[in-house]
Amino acid sequence: MRKKRNDRNYIIYQIFSENTGDSYIGVTVATGRAFLRSVKVRVQKHFSRAKCETKDWALCEFIRQNQDAEMTYQVLDVIRGRRNAYQVEREYIRSYQPTLNTF
């Protein structure tokens, strides 16, 4: 049996609405060393999902209702290993208390 990988880089990122002050914190896999580009691709997937699917998640609802909102994104942290990344993501969520995360 093959050993599970735990050596990949994961990115903790934040999406922020300049208009409303709402934010979302998420985690995604890093593609090589292009961390910001990896986040950009993930953010685009959030927007696509919000427009094409009927998910009732807070972020999707926000995107559908505020299509003209100025949204920015940034890398908060880069973490080695999936389990560690999701643990750190929860810590960021507790600390920042983002309004668009669905709990």
Please write the tens of the pLDDT for every residue from 27-77: 999 998 899 999 999 999 999 999 999 889 999 999 999 988 899 999 999
40 located within any domain: yes
57 located within any domain: yes
* CA atoms of 10 and 54, how far apart (whole Å): 27
Q: What is the reported pLDDT for 102?
A: 85
Token output for 91: 């810590």
* CA atoms of 82 and 13, how far apart (whole Å): 14
42 neighbors 13 (Cβ within 8 angstroms) = yes
Count up the domains in the chain and report the number: 1
CATH number at residue 39: 3.40.1440.10
Q: Is the pLDDT of residue 1 over 80?
A: no
Q: How many helices (H) and strands (E) does the chain have?
A: 3, 3
Alpha carbon dihedral 14, 19, 21, 25, in 10-degree steps, equals -20
Whole domain around residue 72: which residue ranges? 9-96
The pTM score is 0.90
3 located within any domain: no
21 located within any domain: yes
